[in-house]
Amino acid sequence: MGSTRSHLRLGRKEAAFPALGKGCGVYRDRQCCFPEVTADTAEVSYLPVSAPGAGQDVGRSCILVSIAGKNVMLDCGMHMGYNDDRRFPDFSYITQNGRLTDFLDCVIISHFHLDHCGALPYFSEMVGYDGPIYMTHPTKAICPILLEDYRKITVDKKGETNFFTSQMIKDCMKKVVAVHLHQTVQVDEELEIKAYYAGHVLGAAMFQIKVGCESVVYTGDYNMTPDRHLGAAWIDKCRPDLLITESTYATTIRDSKRCRERDFLKKVHETVERGGKVLIPVFALGRAQELCILLETFWERMNLKAPIYFSTGLTEKANHYYKLFITWTNQKIRKTFVQRNMFEFKHIKAFDRAFADNPGPMVVFATPGMLHAGQSLQIFRKWAGNEKNMVIMPGYCVQGTVGHKILSGQRKLEMEGRQILEVKMQVEYMSFSAHADAKGIMQLIRQAEPRNVLLVHGEAKKMEFLKQKIEQEFHVSCYMPANGETTTIFTNPSIPVDISLGLLKRETAIGLLPDVKKPKLMHGTLMMKDNSFRLVSPEQALKELGLAEHQLRFTCRVHIQDPRKEHETVLRVYNHLKGVLKDYSVQHLPDGSITVESILIQATAHSEDQGTKVLLVSWTYQDEELGSYLTSLLKKGLPQSTA
């Protein structure tokens, strides 16, 4: 009896509740390589990479999150700036202790850009992962096409070996489960994920990862301002324990989009007017459509005749994806698509290689966007020598690419075969990347109300600035791990239990109007059996255990000096108590006794001294406080004034 009593915590650390201590076990079983892991944490760690300094740029996204014992990989990107092993994340960090499939509960891909999904076939087919991979429908549709395109450039054109094959891309995509927006996907019994609209490119999504009452939100890349073809990112007030947000434009508050667009159109227009050619290197999907819509409407309005082309293959196909996934575009396009599909361009025609040598002005959208290979590079070489021409880089260029070189002012480029290319054409940079700027990031934090924020996918200096801003404004902890670093965030979840409806109703019935100043205590018994926790009334607990109640009763004799008759004394006591105990039910019963709630008071004359009355105050242990108070109150005697 009582011998095993010890102070047990219900929190996770000591796992007093077996069901809740699970997280701990998972790590031990798998002999995870993480540094010391406390069970009550949502843990986030960057996958370490062999490339030194890679953590400082926007090259590649691949994040590992451990939450309540579940391990989830967020994105599986590759680095565009490298052509060797460094382009893929180093998965040996995980595999040194076993297979990926055993360790990871699922993989989530936020959108189709290669810096977020480019390493996927390598990861699943070459390193080996057979678990589920989640992405939205448009991402699932477009991702394999970009992967195949990327593979072709790397293997077929550059002749690299030891790269994933077409078949591997297909096999990898078979492991993909497509998710709807806002659909709650039950990965297993405990782990669920939910996608939110991110607006960065077609099908881009933010993901909420939830286990029990702990949750993490991963934004991927997102855009908080709607543009010409996509809507703005949106999330509900889901109050995650941790928000992992991209921070590409952490310090920028970009000038108004209208200004940028006007600038862009002006430059294109001027070049075309003076008979020059405009090259716009783009990635097939994303900004290409935004700029096409922009130019299309401008050409329409200005009644311009100069031809606009987009390079064959991908972009044409890409527009088709936009038509079929029109429900993912912005409200306006969705509303009017029956009358006029914004992705059916009147002025923009498919490009043929021969057109590049045509005389006269033209505008050409060509892939890829960083001028590192393919058609855009070919056209660039043809046009670079003429100062009438112009190249407009509408997005970020990774170090090492031709795009990056010309943007950093280089005008003499060494091409293959030691050829020197002199760049006389005008070079313009115009940021049309659909990333949230600092304002947008703050806005998202306001929407989601996270308890902690973690910045990724940005440059260290800019992130530091944003981190301070976030901590100041929202008073939440903000982290910015370097590549390969593990961040541990402590959560303190409350514990869900089942309460018997009888007990709950009894409690809510008494206190219909909650009083802030006088909180009412509820009393129950928490029964813990086989990992189930039930809060029941003490009576029910006794009954379920087959035990009888033991009643502990006290009866105190209180002596009062009062010469009056017994019933008069009783009446005086009654009036006195009634006056003092305003919040309690005090009753004078016909048999001459008094009750205060369930406490009984009877008066008898003292056997020897008629001037003394004996009050018998009787209460059970459950009324201990009140009983004890009553005796001390009565001991002080009755006030003289009462008649």
594-633 binders of another protein (CB under 8 A):
597, 621-626, 628-629, 631-633
Write down the least CB distance from residue 62 to another protein, Å.
25
Write down the least CB distance from residue 376 to another protein, Å.
23
Q: Does 442 bind another protein (CB under 8 A)?
A: no
Dist CA 588 CA 581 (whole Å): 14
Write down the least CB distance from residue 90 to another protein, Å.
31
How would you label 570-588 residue by residue, b for 16+ Cβ within 10 Å and e otherwise?
A: bbbbbbbbbeebeeeebeb
Write down the least CB distance from residue 192 to another protein, Å.
9
Write down the least CB distance from residue 533 to another protein, Å.
8
C-alpha distances in angstroms, 431 versus 151, 291, 393, 397?
A: 27, 12, 8, 11
Stretch that binds another protein, among 69-77, 119-127, 178-186, 217-225 (CB under 8 A): 178-186
**Contact code string over 187-226 relative to another protein, x by CB under 8 A:** -------x------------------x-------------
Contact 88, 119 (CB under 8 A): yes
Contact 266, 378 (CB under 8 A): no
Stretch that binds another protein, among 253-261, 264-272, 316-324, 397-405 (CB under 8 A): 316-324
- First CA to last CA across the chain, in angstroms? 53
Q: Which is nearer to another protein, 236 or 273 (CB)?
A: 236
Write down the least CB distance from residue 42 to another protein, Å.
15
Indicate which single residue of 35, 357, 529, 641 sits in contact with another protein (rule: CB under 8 A): 529
C-alpha distances in angstroms, 146 versus 118, 141, 164, 251, 403?
A: 8, 10, 13, 30, 20
Q: Which is nearer to another protein, 66 or 631 (CB)?
A: 631
Indicate which single residue of 321, 343, 383, 479 sits in contact with another protein (rule: CB under 8 A): 321
Indicate which single residue of 96, 161, 256, 551 sits in contact with another protein (rule: CB under 8 A): 551
Stretch that binds another protein, among 215-223, 347-355, 476-484, 555-563 (CB under 8 A): 555-563
Q: Does 239 bind another protein (CB under 8 A)?
A: no
Query: How many residues of this chain interact with another protein, rule: CB under 8 A?
Result: 101
Contact 542, 548 (CB under 8 A): yes
- CB count in 10 Å sphere of residue 162: 8
**Burial of 16 by CB count in 10 Å (0-12 exposed, 13-18 middle, 19+ buried)?**
middle
Phi, psi angle pair for 451, to nearest 5°: -90, -25
Write down the least CB distance from residue 498 to another protein, Å.
4
Write down the least CB distance from residue 124 to another protein, Å.
18
Q: Which is nearer to another protein, 5 or 475 (CB)?
A: 5
Indicate which single residue of 189, 416, 583, 591 sits in contact with another protein (rule: CB under 8 A): 583
Indicate which single residue of 421, 528, 605, 638 sits in contact with another protein (rule: CB under 8 A): 528
**Catalytic residue status for 246:** yes
Of these residues, 246, 261, 290, 296, which one is catalytic?
246
Q: Which is nearer to another protein, 181 or 430 (CB)?
A: 181
Write down the least CB distance from residue 76 to another protein, Å.
20
Indicate which single residue of 30, 137, 260, 388 sits in contact with another protein (rule: CB under 8 A): 137
Write down the least CB distance from residue 203 to another protein, Å.
10
**Burial of 5 by CB count in 10 Å (0-12 exposed, 13-18 middle, 19+ buried)?**
exposed
Q: Which is nearer to another protein, 71 or 491 (CB)?
A: 491
Dist CA 41 CA 64 (whole Å): 14
Stretch that binds another protein, among 98-106, 179-187, 423-431, 461-469 (CB under 8 A): 179-187
Q: 402, 396, 374: which is closest to 314 by C-alpha? A: 374
Count of all residues that appear for the chain in the document:
643
Q: Which is nearer to another protein, 274 or 557 (CB)?
A: 557
Which residue in this structure is represented by tokens 């300094």? 53
Q: Does 541 bind another protein (CB under 8 A)?
A: yes
C-alpha distances in angstroms, 390 versus 268, 361, 554?
A: 8, 11, 98
Q: Which is nearer to another protein, 165 or 327 (CB)?
A: 327
Dist CA 316 CA 335 (whole Å): 23
Q: Decide: helix, strand or coil at residue 121.
A: helix
Dist CA 255 CA 148 (whole Å): 36
Of 241-280, binders to another protein (CB under 8 A) are none
Q: Which is nearer to another protein, 497 or 605 (CB)?
A: 497
**Contact code string over 468-497 relative to another protein, x by CB under 8 A:** ------------------------xxxxxx
Contact 223, 434 (CB under 8 A): yes
- CB count in 10 Å sphere of residue 174: 8
Q: 334, 314, 317: which is closest to 326 by C-alpha? A: 334
Which residue in this structure is represented by tokens 């100043």? 517
Indicate which single residue of 155, 181, 421, 430 sits in contact with another protein (rule: CB under 8 A): 181
Q: Which is nearer to another protein, 127 or 580 (CB)?
A: 580
Dist CA 133 CA 130 (whole Å): 9
Q: Does 552 bind another protein (CB under 8 A)?
A: yes
Q: Which is nearer to another protein, 561 or 632 (CB)?
A: 632
Q: Which amino acid is at 412?
A: K
Contact 429, 407 (CB under 8 A): yes
Q: Does 237 bind another protein (CB under 8 A)?
A: no
Q: Which amino acid is at 365?
A: F
Q: 474, 640, 486, 514: which is closest to 572 by C-alpha? A: 640
**Contact code string over 322-361 relative to another protein, x by CB under 8 A:** -xxxxx---------xx-----------------------
Residue 100 tokens, joined: 């990926």
Of 502-521, binders to another protein (CB under 8 A) are 502, 504, 507-508, 511, 514, 518-521
Stretch that binds another protein, among 282-290, 393-401, 537-545, 561-569 (CB under 8 A): 537-545
Residue 562 tokens, joined: 């009062």
C-alpha distances in angstroms, 243 versus 77, 91, 291, 460, 478?
A: 20, 24, 31, 18, 9
Q: Does 635 bind another protein (CB under 8 A)?
A: yes
Four-point Cα dihedral 279, 280, 284, 288, nearest 10: -140
The residues, any chain, with a CB within 8 Å of residue 396's CB and separated by 6 or more, are 58, 248, 431, 433
Which residue in this structure is represented by tokens 């995650």? 240
Which residue in this structure is represented by tokens 């040598």? 357
Indicate which single residue of 349, 353, 557, 565 sits in contact with another protein (rule: CB under 8 A): 557
Indicate which single residue of 64, 106, 117, 558 sits in contact with another protein (rule: CB under 8 A): 558
Stretch that binds another protein, among 62-70, 383-391, 579-587, 605-613 (CB under 8 A): 579-587
Write down the least CB distance from residue 112 to another protein, Å.
12
Q: Does 127 bind another protein (CB under 8 A)?
A: no
Which positions are catalytic?
246
